[in-house]
Structure 1
Amino acid sequence: MALKIEMLRGFATVARSGNLSDAAQTLGRTPSAVSMMLKQLETHLGEPLFETDRKSKLTALGAYVLEQAERELQQFDNTVKAIEGFAKATHGRVRIATVPSVAGTIIPQVFSRHISDYHNVDIELRDMDSTSILHELSRDRIDIGIATIGQQTAGLSSQHLLSDTFGVICAPTHPLAQEEGPVPWEALANERLIANSLSASIGAEPSIQLHAGALISAHNLTSIMGMVHANIGITVLPKMVINAINSANLVFRPLCGPQVKREIHLLRRADSTLSPAARLLERHILEVATEISQDTLI
């Protein structure tokens, strides 16, 4: 006969209760069934576990078995709890990487609304550029990516998250800030452009020409905004970038013309299945992104 975990649980309950009646009630079984289980355990071990039939005093073997049983039961119960928690999305680990604008807008709203759902979930959040996110996904270093993808979709499962409008960002004292409405590319021909990796991704011919004449190129958002605020020049960035840094002292005007939006996608590897916790986070991200798109971006 093989020892079973419920046999150890039954013995430990009797040992802690000191009698069959109370132990049977705790276990939800009859006293005779518990007594039979104890006899099977003692037969298997070849030695008695209790000094008397009253089950109030353990033998030396009984004391040793109780010590080992309680240790094993705690480990077993913790394992079951972890497995069930993982399946119900209340436990686990989720690795997510996103472009900074989403990290500063959508992600905070997700956790402000649903943080109680992730008390026992280890969440690793990183913000990086889209190219790095695609690289991390290809190496299976993250579970969820939020990025622009271009033509790089091989091996990825992609779901459109939102569209983000590009616009001109300038200081309040700049002449462009004195008008309203979309800005035509021609109006930027004589402007001093502070180029960046996002604006350089716009494939429209007017944008390519404008960037060809840029005297300054910056990659750090703080540096870009500092120079724009100092009226050194203007820059072109998606609207969510401004929302993410909450820069009320700068003016955003959308661009008019072709290819002035970036498409942001929710990504994961096509050959892997997300954990329940990751699927829950993915659903919450989609819900918040839909609301933000309806309210501010479309």
Structure 2
Amino acid sequence: MALKIEMLRGFATVARSGNLSDAASALGRTPSAVSMMLKQLENHLGEPLFETDRKNKLTALGEFTLEQAERELEQFDNTVRAIEGFARASHGHVRVAAVPSVAGSIIPQVFSRHINAFNAVDIELRDMDSSSILHELSRNRVDIGIATLGENDLGLHSRLLMSDRFGVICTSDHPLARCTEPVNWEMLENERLIANSLSAGINAEPSRALHGKALLTAQNLTSIMAMVRTGIGITILPEMAVRALQSNDLTFRPLTDPTAKRQIHLLRKADVTLSPAAQLLEGYIINCAQDLMQPGNDAQNLR
């Protein structure tokens, strides 16, 4: 007969209670059932565990067995709690990578609403550009990615999270900031453009022509905004990226081109099942993004 964890639990409960009646009540079993379980355990070991039938004094074997049983029961119970906690999404480790504008806007909103749901969950948040996020997802180094899709993103499950309009960023004293007309591509033909990887993704032909003659290119948003602030030129960025930087001394003017939008997707590996905690977080991200994108809750409120 193999020893079972419930045999050890029954013995330890009797040893701590000092009698069968109280132990049976604690175990939710009858005294006769508990007595039979103890007899099976003693028969298996070949020696008695108690000095008398009153079960109030342990033999040397009983003392040793109790010490080992309590250690094993603690480990077993901790393991069960960990497994059940993981299944309930109250434990675990979730790795999230998001483009900086989302990492600095929507993700804080998610945790401000739902942080108590993740008290025992280890959450790792990294902000990086979209191409890096796609790379990390492909290597299974990220569970959830929030980024724009590339051209060859096979093996990823994607869900459109939101659209973010592009606009011109300029100083508050720039003619474009004072202009009452909507900004179109023709108005930018004679402007010095500070190109960036985000604006380079706009597929409109006037945008490609504008970027083709740009002599300045920068990738870091802080550096881009600093150059705009000093009057070196103008740039084109998604509105959420601008709001996340809280550059109130600069002006954002949306482009009239309806195609000048960034599509931000919620991404994960298609062949990987997310942990319960990651699934819970994914749902909260979707709900929060939907709420914040409702009319009256546009990107300007994502500060």
Task: Tell me, yes or no, whether TM beats 0.5.
Answer: yes
Q: Check whether the contact 1:238–1:262 (CA below 8 A) recurs between aligned residues.
A: yes
- 1:282 aligned residue: 282
- 1:153 aligned residue: 153
Q: How does 1:225-236 map to 2 (within 5 A)?
A: 225-236=225-236
Q: How far off is 1:182 after superposition? A: 3.1
In 1, Cα distance between equivalents of 2:166 and 2:7: 67
- 1:266 aligned residue: 266
Q: How far off is 1:181 after superposition? A: 5.6
Against the structure 1 CA distance between its residues 10 and 181, is the aligned structure 2 distance closer, same or farther, given a 3 Å change threshold? farther
Q: How far off is 1:196 after superposition? A: 1.0
In 2, Cα distance between equivalents of 1:166 and 1:220: 17
Q: How far off is 1:123 after superposition? A: 1.1
Q: Check whether the contact 2:177–2:251 (CA below 8 A) recurs between aligned residues.
A: yes
In 2, Cα distance between equivalents of 1:180 and 1:267: 39
Amino acid in structure 1 at the alignment position of 2:245: I
Q: How far off is 1:100 after superposition? A: 0.8
- 2:293 aligned residue: 293
- 1:169 aligned residue: 169
Q: Does 1:136 align with 2:136?
A: yes
Higher mean alpha-carbon deviation, 56-65 vs 244-253, is at 244-253
Q: Per the alignment, in what secondary structure is the counterpart of residue 256 of structure 1? A: coil
Higher mean alpha-carbon deviation, 150-159 vs 123-132, is at 150-159
Q: Check whether the contact 1:181–1:253 (CA below 8 A) recurs between aligned residues.
A: no
In 1, Cα distance between equivalents of 2:181 and 2:133: 34
- 1:48 aligned residue: 48
Q: How does 1:69-108 map to 2 (within 5 A)?
A: 69-108=69-108
Q: Check whether the contact 2:131–2:150 (CA below 8 A) recurs between aligned residues.
A: no
In 2, Cα distance between equivalents of 1:177 and 1:51: 93
Against the structure 1 CA distance between its residues 181 and 102, is the aligned structure 2 distance closer, same or farther, given a 3 Å change threshold? farther
Q: Per the alignment, in what secondary structure is the counterpart of residue 145 of structure 1? A: strand
Any unmatched runs of 5+ in structure 1? none
Q: How does 1:176-215 map to 2 (within 5 A)?
A: 176-180=176-180, 182-215=182-215
Q: Check whether the contact 1:181–1:254 (CA below 8 A) recurs between aligned residues.
A: no
Higher mean alpha-carbon deviation, 220-229 vs 109-118, is at 220-229
Q: How far off is 1:150 after superposition? A: 3.5
Q: How far off is 1:105 after superposition? A: 0.8
Against the structure 1 CA distance between its residues 152 and 209, is the aligned structure 2 distance closer, same or farther, given a 3 Å change threshold? same
Q: How far off is 1:212 after superposition? A: 2.1
In 2, Cα distance between equivalents of 1:36 and 1:213: 89
Amino acid in structure 1 at the alignment position of 2:243: N
Amino acid in structure 2 at the alignment position of 1:90: S
Q: How many residues align?
A: 298
Q: Check whether the contact 2:170–2:252 (CA below 8 A) recurs between aligned residues.
A: yes
Q: Per the alignment, in what secondary structure is the counterpart of residue 298 of structure 2? A: helix
Q: How far off is 1:258 after superposition? A: 5.1
| Cα deviation 1:44-74 (Å, max 9, x = unaligned) | 1010111111111111111111111111101
Against the structure 1 CA distance between its residues 261 and 181, is the aligned structure 2 distance closer, same or farther, given a 3 Å change threshold? farther
Identity %: 71
- 1:238 aligned residue: 238
Give me the TM-score of the superposition, normalised by structure 2: 0.95
Higher mean alpha-carbon deviation, 276-285 vs 135-144, is at 135-144
Amino acid in structure 1 at the alignment position of 2:75: Q
Against the structure 1 CA distance between its residues 181 and 277, is the aligned structure 2 distance closer, same or farther, given a 3 Å change threshold? farther
Q: Check whether the contact 1:180–1:253 (CA below 8 A) recurs between aligned residues.
A: no
Q: Per the alignment, in what secondary structure is the counterpart of residue 293 of structure 2? A: helix
Q: Check whether the contact 2:243–2:299 (CA below 8 A) recurs between aligned residues.
A: no
Against the structure 1 CA distance between its residues 221 and 297, is the aligned structure 2 distance closer, same or farther, given a 3 Å change threshold? closer
In 1, Cα distance between equivalents of 2:99 and 2:155: 20
| Cα deviation 1:130-181 (Å, max 9, x = unaligned) | 1111111111111111111143231111111000100001111111111346
- 1:26 aligned residue: 26
Q: Check whether the contact 1:100–1:128 (CA below 8 A) recurs between aligned residues.
A: yes
